Structure 1
């Protein structure tokens, strides 16, 4: 990949992200780390076209470093392999000149068979609990129903993503002391899944709220309202088909208060509009997402102000 194309890839993908305290120069992006709860600009991405590390990142606050694909996977809320494939599809194939700078990513093709199930016994090693989700308003009943656990060695809660038949498709690890997360290797791509949709299949649930993040879906479930999450702001044909094949007939889209949330909402409406009943709701402007709204204001009372009465009548067995 020519350096000019590499520069286009890096800048095109990084510029839309809402960086905090960001400074762009000809050689570096300097900003607060997207991996940590810190507003100090200690994070950098190399943008010097003469530097062989172009696109790599580092954090002077922690000493951590990594490559561009790893960073993009985090920003897009997907696996490393999915981010690598995204780059190949969007920006082209292999470099013609072996001397040209390349992105170090695995060779992936669209027709490569994907592993759709992983061994559910993996969850046995994480049968612990941490106060992280409890402090964010997620009830114990919901945590048990969704098989949430805790990795004590890596200090990360574990969020299983299940296939429609209830088998384990992937496992997300979320650090309790930072924003960092990662997924189980060799698992089903998140782009093919919807978090929590297995309950709709097993319990024949007809109505759902759709949100972006798992914790927002868990928040609504803790308020007694069934919800599924797309996992970030991406919504594609695979997620659409999974939703349309489910027993769900009516949905309400509850987006985050940002530009990405608006784009997410519009994409879903375009994909499923006319195929099922779709309603739209918005988190109050003073909050960035459902969980923040719940933690500061309490969802049970606040939701009465939204036009989602149909969704409030649903029942889900969290026992």
Structure 2
């Protein structure tokens, strides 16, 4: 028996995830350890990674003095974080209400399931939409830490020029760079971290990125009607800013409904495809166009043919941060 969003389910997290794999084809592979059900992440590498990198907690866990409920989801490669309901909504490309109904119909044994359905979904949405701000002093403290290892990493990733503009810093405890994410009002909603060695990601506790777009605050501060590049990762967006080109990042391969609404509130109406060139990025761009074109946005496609022709190993070319500025200038927009 487990609790999810206040509802009793007479099953286990492992059983739910296994059925998602077998019946829905959501995950390529699945492994179980003492604490988590590990699955192949459906949000990067087109869901075709070789080793499972996404963990779904089997029971409530306590970390750093805080409790995380059963079904807490985190990908240790791309940083995707959610609860089980949100994961199902994202992979099935439905809203949270339909994802919750799926769980209720498949697994709930409670007699009040239908009566509680709307109440629980509304409660979850309210919790998800409630922004938790982070003290700017914490962000500035990270920004002041200019250790040589972090500076060298930023130079290697071509983003050292915009370090102070975006208050990028360094967390010694995690040995990672810190990238604060601001909402349209300039409040720090979350801090994303990436290790300078290896590929480990950390998100600030209690963070929620569903309705936030990285770089949108900075774009709007000095917007002059330009076409704006839209990317998956903050690193890609920062690369473009380093070249003097305004960009935003949706922090994943698929734009959420809340992010789409944030864009509608902004003055931006022209977006250029800077999404990754893998299957997930291509699908994400198509879905983004489906959402935004009916809202009056003009979406500019991009062609990387000339760049691909000059790369020795085309399969390794995926995102903007891999390009030199000269290669970037070869991208065709139409």
With structure 2 as the length reference, what TM-score do the two structures score? Answer: 0.66
1:122 maps to which residue? 138
Kept in 2: contact 1:254–1:282 (CA 8 A):
no
1:234–1:76 distance in 2 versus 1, CA, 3 Å: farther
Kept in 2: contact 1:220–1:226 (CA 8 A):
yes
2:291 maps to which residue? 271
With structure 1 as the length reference, what TM-score do the two structures score? Answer: 0.69
Distance (whole Å) between structure 2 residues aligned to residue 74 and residue 11 of structure 1: 22
Task: Specify which structure has the bigger relative contact order, considering alpha-carbon pairs within 8 angstroms and separated by 6 or more residues.
Answer: 1
1:282–1:169 distance in 2 versus 1, CA, 3 Å: farther
1:263–1:115 distance in 2 versus 1, CA, 3 Å: same
Are 1:83 and 2:70 counterparts? no
User: Unpaired segments of 5 or more residues in structure 1?
Assistant: 35-40, 48-52, 56-65, 98-106, 310-319
Deviation of 1:169 after TM superposition, in Å, equals: 1.4
Runs of 4+ in 1 over 6 A off after TM superposition: 22-25, 28-31, 41-47
Where 1:111 maps in the other structure, the secondary structure is helix
Are 1:303 and 2:323 counterparts? no
Q: Could you report, residue by residue, the CA deviation over 1:237-281 in whole angstroms, capped at 9, with x for unpaired residues?
A: 211111121121211012212211111101110111141211011
Kept in 1: contact 2:167–2:179 (CA 8 A):
yes
1:23–1:199 distance in 2 versus 1, CA, 3 Å: closer
Are 1:192 and 2:211 counterparts? yes
Q: Could you report, residue by residue, the CA deviation over 1:81-121 in whole angstroms, capped at 9, with x for unpaired residues?
A: x3344147424258437xxxxxxxxx961233612422211
Where 1:92 maps in the other structure, the secondary structure is helix
User: Could you say what the CA RMSD is over the residues aligned between the two structures, in angstroms?
Assistant: 4.0
Deviation of 1:305 after TM superposition, in Å, equals: 2.2
Distance (whole Å) between structure 1 residues aligned to residue 78 and residue 158 of structure 2: 25
Name the structure where helix makes up a greater proportion of residues: 2
Distance (whole Å) between structure 2 residues aligned to residue 30 and residue 193 of structure 1: 26
1:76–1:307 distance in 2 versus 1, CA, 3 Å: same
Kept in 2: contact 1:78–1:191 (CA 8 A):
no
